[in-house]
Structure 1
Amino acid sequence: MNKALKLEKRVLKLIYLLCLLLFTNLALLQKPFDKKALIIGVILCIIIGLSHYILRRFYPDGDKFMFIFSSILAVVGIAVLYRIDPSFAYKQLVWVTLGIIGYMTIVIALPDLKSFAKYKKIYMITTLVLMPMGLIYNLVMGSSVNGAMNWVYIGPFSFQPSEFGKIALVLYLSASLMNYESKNVIKEDFKQLIEPALVVMFSLVCMVLQTDLGSTLIFFGISVTMLYIATSKKKYVFTCLGLSAVGAIGAYGVFGHVQRRVKIWLDPWKYQYDEGRQIVQGLYAISSGGLFGVGLGNGYPDLIFASESDYIFAIICEEFGIIFAVGLMIIYFLLFYRGIRIAFLTKDRFSLLAAVGFSTMIACQTLVIVGGIFKVIPLTGITLPLISYGGSSMLTIFFALGILQKISEEY
């Protein structure tokens, strides 16, 4: 048995231990003993163990730790959701299971990712359809969710088209930028970038109109990073940053919801009994948790709006402590590192750009929501990857991770 396999098995045992300890603790919080919590813990251990066995047994050339890191985050997420409301945890278990099935399907069924570079038009059309879908639906139906117009309802089911639009956008930019060649004539150079630039601008405008500021930041981060990797030209990055600054000032002047977000961010205590209550209660929760937390089950998640989604990281800080929360951030960093490592080990340019795009997507989403909770940037209502409650986000992240896993086999 080689050292890498020994390390994997050691980490897996720690995941099993963490899972069983968390859900045993949750079971003991209830009187009488809550057997359902323990059953969820056992189910998670079986799903993770079986999936890892399949990857290691039949696809030994791929990345060895990406699935393990994502499993840790999913376990913590379901445990915290069970503490908040067991009904959330039951649904999240289904989404995690479907996400892992999707992850495994991509690895097992798809050929090499480089064979998908030829479908640029399909990715572009998919992006152009998904991005405005939430806006059009909510304008027609005259509805919104907490002021945002990024949800679509089909019977009892709901989903965020922009979540799946992120996947399409990354694949489109990968296919569009893979053949970029530096030209001495600016006009010729610009011709290669005008189409992807227009698609990205269209996507950003759609997100702003849907009041989905979090997705706006994520899409911008993905696009600028992929542009720089494809062209290696800093002038394009600075141009994008300059245009984004102008756009941000313009959006602040035109859209009232942007002004409200900024005002609340600058002085949440002024609005602590109204629109700023969520931020203030979140900061109180983080501060009360201290280094080691108040203990699982001893916090007050009911005081924070959207504690199961937007503000689940504040609940983790309160009940598990800031040290545990920093540990989760390290796992996110390791997940990002594995993705970037995959990007620069593959020889195919389409696969390289896709890996950079998906890794950046996960990193940006994490930093944007954590930055908003800690009041570093204005709060945006997005999910913490693999931890927050939400089917659309869970499926999207596992889909992205599945593609990264597939690329890792192309070394």
Structure 2
Amino acid sequence: MSLWKEFLRALTEPLGDHRPPLATARRPWLRRAPYVLVLLVAGSLLPTGVVTLVRFHGVDPALATALAAVQAGALPLALTRPLPAWRLVVPSVLVGAVATHGATAERSWPWPVTTLLGYLLLMVLLAVRERGRTLLAVWVVTFLGCGLGRTVSGAHSDGSSVVVTALSGVVLLLGWSLRGRGEAKRLLAAQERVSETERARRALLEERARIARELHDVVAHHMSVITVQADSAPYRIEGLPPAAVEEFGQIAAAARGSLGEMRRLLGVLRTADSAADRAPQPGLADLPKLLATVGRAGVRAELAVGDGVSALGPVPEAVGLSAYRIVQEALANVVRHAPGAAAEVAVTAADGALALAVRNGPPPGRARAAVEVSGGTGQGLVGMRERVRLLAGTLDTGPTAGGGYRVTAVLPLDGTGPGEITA
């Protein structure tokens, strides 16, 4: 079945100029098959055509040789240029009809057997290469030619004209249908690729908008602190000169204006289903609760926090939020793709950065998750990459030797890392 599908695909594949049928087949012997078939047929039709025209139709040997050579030689040409080959054959058929007119009554006229076979093979090569309007024009010419021959010499003509008209129409129609089906499948596949690209782009934009909404709360908190400190500075610090008091007032006013602009920006970024984004943003302290949720989904997850993490003190809110979301997405992927597998989450500190490692083993059997990890974005690696890029960190993902999966990330606390992402 796979061979037949490959044959149909290669036969209906769009071909550039001077390319024979099956030129896009993956298997070399399929690409060579049209050449072998046409050369065998042409090599057989040439001598038999000469013998048939000379012995059974009384044609002059020189003329018979010329007609057979044109009709057989047009077949290899039809592999790459079927329409010029057909234009070459049509005059030879007319000359042959005139030359064989008046032959023995029991002989086929105006289509000797060799001419009929070569013409039908030429129709096959035309059908798999040319457009529908061209095929229709070829059949109309064939129909009119056969009809004219029967009209001019109805008593001498036999049923070969009817056979050629019917069979050429069937061959051209089947070839046109086959190419139309192949073209429709190609257009559908191209549209699916475009749709997939658009879906991936939309997912990326949605994830970036989600990250921006989350970071709004972090930035808004810092701006609020600046506003409060600037407003209270004249009351907390005695003996400030008027210029300093005025400067603090300008800082507070600018901070309040920035907060207002951020609220308007957040209104643009929010969507109808983003009400949950208004909840307080999670951080490293919420990881135990996240693992408990994963446990209810059937994934046994363990959390290991290195001693150096506590020595870091409070990490920047953007780093803590990104760390939480990366672990959340990694565990959500475990729940979706490896339900029931054991997972390990490690949080360590190294060289002024927060290092995360989430590893899981293969799923036991075909277990299914009972619940989903709450709050997951469903974007998986897309969201992880965007969060790591935001902090100029590094991300490394991929399968493990034991059949599981790993996600490791390094998030610089100052956002000045190399920003490398591998998968």
TM-score of the aligned structures, taking structure 1 as reference length: 0.24
Q: Which has the higher helix share?
A: 1
Report the structure, 1 or 2, having the larger strand content.
Answer: 2
Q: Which of the pair has more CA radius of gyration?
A: 2
Higher relative contact order (CA 8 A, sep 6+): 1
